[in-house]
Amino acid sequence: MGTRECQHICGESSPAVGEAGKTGEWRDSFLVIDQQKCLPVRQNKPSCFLCWLYCPDAVISKTIPIQINMDYCKGCGICAQICPAHAITMVREEEFYLTETD
């Protein structure tokens, strides 16, 4: 199947979820959240949410607990770096899946 039906003649896209495809496929690291360390969970009220603020792909929700849209999470690890409670750990995809299936 070719791209003839796409009527663009130059690079063109619209700001929309998924416009660049499922960018989560680019990910090589998965993130594991320790909910007991996450500040909003511990305090049971909206607080911190630095991961939501810093996520460059806006895939983290401002909810308790936080939700991550893995369709578009590229696994950059900024959330793990910024979390003051060290609640997020980055795990290599292959290690994560090996652990899961063990």
Partner 1 sequence: MGKKETRKASTWILDGNHAAALGAKLSRVQVIAAYPITPQSPVTETLSEFVEGGELGAQYIAVESEHSALAVCTSASMVGARTFTATSAHGLAYMHEMLHWAAGARLPVVLACVNRAIGAPWNVLNDQQDSISQRDTGWIQIYARNNQEILDSIIQAYKIAESIYIPVMVCYDGYILSHTEMPVDVPAQEDVDRFLPAYKPNTILDPANPKNYNLVTLANPRVNAEGVLCHGYMELRYLLQEALQNSRERITTVGREFGELFGRSYASMFWEDRLEDADIVIVAMGSLAMEAIVAADMLREAGHKAGVLGLKVFRPFPKSDVVRALGKARLVVVFDKNISYGIEGATCSEIKSALYGSSARAVIRNFIVGLGGRDIKARELVDAVNKSLLSMKEGDLSKEYPEWICAI
Minimum separation from the CB atom of position 71 to partner 1 (A):
12
Interacting residues toward partner 1 by CB under 8 A: 1-3, 5-6, 8-21
DSSP string, 39-81: HHHHHTSS---HHHHH-TT--B-SSSS--B-TTT-----HHHH
Residue whose CB is less far from partner 1, 21 or 84: 21
Q: Rounded to the nearest whole angstrom, what is the least distance from the CB of residue 7 to partner 1 in the complex?
A: 9
Give least dist CB 13 to partner 1, A: 5
Q: How many CB atoms lie within 10 A of CB 83?
A: 21
